[in-house]
Structure 1
């Protein structure tokens, strides 16, 4: 049996195609328009001369240059931007409950998990709501991101208290960082610790 043919005309051009092929092309076009495209990180072209020293404010980026972070997994190389100031003391939340926010390096993914879980997570929520210089993509840093802050510019943090990371250690605790001596420990999720948001800056 011959396939049903459809004649397509555009100006002086005429094309005959099987009806099934036309349907497949039309369906693929519609799906391509409806399906959300995967959003790649926004990359900004920045000259090296425009990059401030580590520990110094980065104009227009909402905070301080916390240093370069090498690519890891599906997260490209980027600069860690540390908010200029703390945003208070907050509980981690979810005491006695397991969370999927277990990454030691990806605070953004951790924060997204925490903000979408049924249990309230005050520290993560406070960071996700933070805005500076038009940027609204801050998050609660992971344990390794806090450690990078201590390695690169500990002086921009308070020296007499612990800061929450977004990295869960157990159902009862999560990792924290003390910038006075560089100590990392686990704190009770129901405790209120200091909170400092961070964000990522992807550049060419």
Structure 2
């Protein structure tokens, strides 16, 4: 075999489509500094839940891994029916949750915000796109879940996992809550 000349790379950018079928099937395995990262859908020891994959930077939120709590917290009302909220981001569940908790009267956001696991107390109610990521990777099998994303004074966005329906529902209703957190590498 012919010897090839060595080269040095100072900056290398690699892009991979994490929504590929291989990722959903759990065939991607990435090493992180200091150890192995679990495949998408597996519990990430020390991070408080299930690895839901990489999320690219957007706006003020840096790139991170999304961690879904490994259990539902129960069913709660979204709260504050017929009142507008500043929780309107479809992708930043953390800022939505903080706005809802500060306003008070939002049981779903308050439950997610108070959840703790593996020593982490930075969980929040996921935004609409964060719930969609869980559906894309088949992380939740069934049920209807609240997002932290308000649709209007009367409605908030939801995700129905059995069929992938993403729509909106009256804030006075009770739906499931699954907390999430961000893990920055």
Instruction: Identify the TM-score tier after normalising by the shorter chain.
Output: 0.7 to 0.9
Q: Does 1:157 align with 2:143?
A: no
The 3-state SS of whatever aligns with 1:125 is helix
| Corresponding residue number in structure 1 for 2:65 | 79
Measured after TM superposition, the shift of residue 47 of structure 1 is 2.4
The 3-state SS of whatever aligns with 2:132 is helix
Return the alpha-carbon distance in structure 2 between the equivalents of residues 189 and 138 of structure 1.
Answer: 21
Summarize the Cα distance change of 1:158–1:91 in structure 2 as closer, same or farther, 3 Å threshold.
farther
Residue 100 of structure 1 is aligned with which of 83, 86, 94? Answer: 86
Structure 2's unaligned 5+ residue stretches are 1-31
Structure 1 stretches (4+) deviating beyond 3 angstroms? none
TM-score computed with the length of structure 2 as normaliser: 0.81
TM-score computed with the length of structure 1 as normaliser: 0.74
Higher helix share: 1
Q: Does 1:112 align with 2:95?
A: no
| Corresponding residue number in structure 2 for 1:27 | none
Rg larger for = 1
Residue 68 of structure 1 is aligned with which of 30, 54, 65? Answer: 54
Output one character per residue of 1:95-148: Cα deviation in whole Å (capped at 9) or x when no partner: 00000000000000000000000x400000000000001000000000000001
| Corresponding residue number in structure 1 for 2:22 | none
Measured after TM superposition, the shift of residue 158 of structure 1 is 4.2
Measured after TM superposition, the shift of residue 74 of structure 1 is 1.3
Output one character per residue of 1:20-58: Cα deviation in whole Å (capped at 9) or x when no partner: xxxxxxxxxxxxxxxxxxxxxxxxxx4285111000000
Structure 1's unaligned 5+ residue stretches are 1-45
